[in-house]
Chains A and B, each alone.
Chain A
Amino acid sequence: MSSNIKSIDPRKALSLEIDFILHNLMRIQGVSAVAMVDIDGLITHIRHNSEVNTDAIGASVQVVFGAATKAALHVGHHVTNMVICENAEGYILSTPIDAGFMLAMVTERDALLGKVRFELKETIPVLKKLFANYLLK
């Protein structure tokens, strides 16, 4: 039976890899925060260059994603791959990773949405694989 308690080495390696990926995502023009959110809406990793309420963002991203997933199911769209919130001062993009974890990105209004989405879409398979490897260990 697999346990949720892992030895420290794989956790440390995963953490470093995630930090590296978040660091790369933060380099995109207009991105102000990138966070990994667990199934309970708690932030496990975060990088930000402006004041962000980490507790609020984690919980609200999970709530919004849950609502969007339900909406997608109601209209027969099956799996939700990404939720984009367009706000007066920027965007929030959230994408599911694995085991209820999500990647959330907060951007300024001047961020190039196509660029952010392109990077995010290309990064997700790497994060999914990292999590899959970790959960198997």
Chain B
Amino acid sequence: MHWFESQLSSLDQLAEAYRSSQPTSYDDIVEVSEEICLKRSQFVHAVQALVNKVVRIKGITACAAYHDGLILAHSGKTPHIDALGAMIQESTGVAQQSSATLSLGEIEQIVIVGAINKIAILGVGPITLCILSPRDTNLAHVLGQDIKKHINLNT
């Protein structure tokens, strides 16, 4: 399996475990609060771990995770980290509108390619993951390889 896909799949499982740990009835929320807290913590730690791993891959400039447009985890050189969150929210909103009009289904990823850099935005559970790289980086290739072969040993 594609390395990054397998990581996203693990994150998705943790997000689902967290989502399903939440009680269907508000009445039970106190009884299960410790378990919810644990699942949430596992998910958030896994997000931070993935962000840290991704940024060590050669060709990736930065990686960040946002919740409702606010920073949740980041690693690497992320300029204007708050502005990036706002931009991601805006882009996601536009993409969702387009998706509805064009019947694309739920948005899974957005890639914006500039003349110098590019950015990939992916939704994982309640968070949005964002990967920045130079324009020339083949994201599918670098993220698809076994991470050990691509880790930039200089960092």
- A113: interface (CB < 8 Å): yes
Residues in B whose Cβ lies below 8 Å from that of A130: 30
Interface centre among B69, B72, B73, B126 (most CB of A within 10 A): B72
Q: List the A side residues contacting B40 at CB < 8 Å.
A: 119, 122
Which DSSP category, helix, strand, loop or mixed, fits chain A's interface? helix
Residue B71 is within 8 A (CB to CB) of chain A in the complex: yes
Q: Give the secondary structure class of B's interface.
A: mixed
Q: Which residues of A contact B29 (CB under 8 A)?
A: 125-126, 129
- Residue ID in chain B nearest A84 by CB atoms: B70
Judging by beta carbons under 8 Å apart, are B73 and A112 in contact? yes
Residues in B whose Cβ lies below 8 Å from that of A114: 65-72, 85
With A and B bound together, what is the CA distance between A21 and B40 in angstroms?
Answer: 14
Contact between A112 and B30, CB atoms less than 8 A apart: no
Q: Which residues of chain B have C-beta atoms less than 8 A from A112's C-beta?
A: 70-74
Give CA–CA (A125, B31) in the complex, Å. 12
Which of chain A's residues has its CB closest to B34's CB? A20
Minimum distance in angstroms from B70 CB to a CB of chain A:
3
Considering the chains assembled together, what is the distance between the CA atoms of A123 and B40 in angstroms? 11
Return chain A residues, CB-CB under 8 Å to B36.
122, 126
Assess the A133–B72 pair: CB atoms within 8 A.
no
B49 at interface by CB-CB < 8 Å:
no
Q: In the complex, which of the residues B26, B69, B72, B82 contacts A115, with contact meaning CB atoms closer than 8 Å?
A: B72
* Nearest residue, chain A, Cβ from B65: A114
Task: Name the residue among A112, A114, A123 with the largest chain B CB count within 10 angstroms.
Answer: A114
Complexed CA–CA distance, A129 and B82 (Å): 33
List B residues at the A interface (Cβ < 8 Å): 26-27, 29-30, 33, 36-37, 40, 44, 65-74, 82, 85, 126
Can you list 9 A-B contacts (CB < 8 A)?
A112-B71, A114-B65, A114-B85, A115-B67, A117-B67, A118-B67, A125-B29, A126-B29, A129-B26
